[in-house]
Amino acid sequence: MARRRSVSDAQILEVAREVFIEEGPGAATSQVAARVGLSEAAIFKRFGTKQRLFCEAVRPDGPVWVGALGRLAGRGELRETLVELVVALIAFYREVLPRLMLVWSSQLRTPEACAVGEGHPLVRTVRAVSGLLEAEASLGRLVAHDAETVARGLLGASMHFAFAEFVETADFFEESDQAYARSLVGMLLEGIGGELDASVEPMDAVERRAVWSGGVLAACGEDGSCAAGGGADRLVVGGGGG
């Protein structure tokens, strides 16, 4: 009969997560081994490589509510359901962003060690939110749109709120989770489009590209040389400083 392990894999991963978050991806596996009371060889026997230990330790889990989200469709006030969803997403990203940043910045992150494909918790979260939106649209409580695009928009807006705290810029945005969620959901349900005004000054495609590229319009000769000026049909990217 095999002897029961005194330290479970889950316990090792919990300690490894703490070590990597405290010390960064460069933390030695010997530090993990010392904290759990095992030899470093025992750690490698279970996880094979440091890369695999790192990926399994810091890879974010999905929100606990993902599997039950579909049960909310058609029940209660839709606005409140979406507000609660955004608040829950913000809490989720607050928890997992430090781990995501470790994964993104680490040289230990390799496709072979960290691949999870469709099972990735962030993918499953998008699928679950999309499913809720599709169900609500089928009931007539939402206008039919590309549900995945809307879901990713909600996730992205929620992640940005948590990220602002993570990089210590939250003081510039003075909103509570609830207030932000209610404003975001209100914008989604009510829209931001106004009446089209035919009298507005037109803007051609070249001018638009100048705005988004940070460039300037320039007068360009047939040889391809350009001089700063107006009335041109070419764009010098990055030419507009200061």
Q: Taking CA 56 as the corner, what is the angle to CA 53 and CA 58, rounded to the nearest 5 degrees?
A: 100
Confidence of residue 207 (pLDDT cuts 50, 70, 90): confident
> What pLDDT score was predicted for residue 110?
53
Expressed as residue numbers, the domain containing 13 is 9-58
Residue 166: pLDDT above 60? yes
* 175-190 per-position pLDDT tens digit: 899 999 999 999 999 8
Question: Any idea how long the chain is?
Answer: 242
Looking at the fold, whether 134 and 73 belong to one and the same domain comes out as yes
- Structural contact between residues 153 and 189, judged by C-beta atoms closer than 8 angstroms: no
Residue 33 CA, distance from chain mean position: 32
Looking at the fold, whether 72 and 175 belong to one and the same domain comes out as yes
Residue 228 lies in a domain: yes
β-pairing, 216-220 vs 234-236, is antiparallel
Residue 242 lies in a domain: no
User: Is 83 or 219 the better-scoring residue by pLDDT?
Assistant: 83
Confidence of residue 222 (pLDDT cuts 50, 70, 90): low
Looking at the fold, whether 109 and 181 belong to one and the same domain comes out as yes
Taking CB atoms within 8 Å and a gap of at least 24, the contacts of 105-113 are 105/25, 106/25, 106/54, 107/25, 108/25, 108/50, 108/51, 108/54, 108/55, 109/51, 109/54, 109/55, 110/51, 112/51, 113/49, 113/51, 113/52, 113/54, 113/55
> What pLDDT score was predicted for residue 148?
95
Residue 227 lies in a domain: yes
| 234 φ, ψ (degrees, to nearest 5) | -125, 165
**Residue at which a domain ends, from 39, 58, 77:** 58
User: Is 11 or 204 the better-scoring residue by pLDDT?
Assistant: 11
* 11-49 per-position pLDDT tens digit: 999 999 889 888 887 889 999 999 999 999 999 999 888
- Please state the pTM of the whole predicted model: 0.69
- Structural contact between residues 160 and 98, judged by C-beta atoms closer than 8 angstroms: no
Residue 196 lies in a domain: no
* 63-111 per-position pLDDT tens digit: 888 888 889 999 999 999 999 999 999 999 888 887 777 777 665 555 4
* 123-165 per-position pLDDT tens digit: 889 999 999 999 999 999 998 889 999 999 999 999 999 988 8
> What pLDDT score was predicted for residue 12?
93
Looking at the fold, whether 232 and 171 belong to one and the same domain comes out as no
- Structural contact between residues 163 and 93, judged by C-beta atoms closer than 8 angstroms: yes
Residue 3 lies in a domain: no
Residue 86 lies in a domain: yes
Looking at the fold, whether 114 and 224 belong to one and the same domain comes out as no
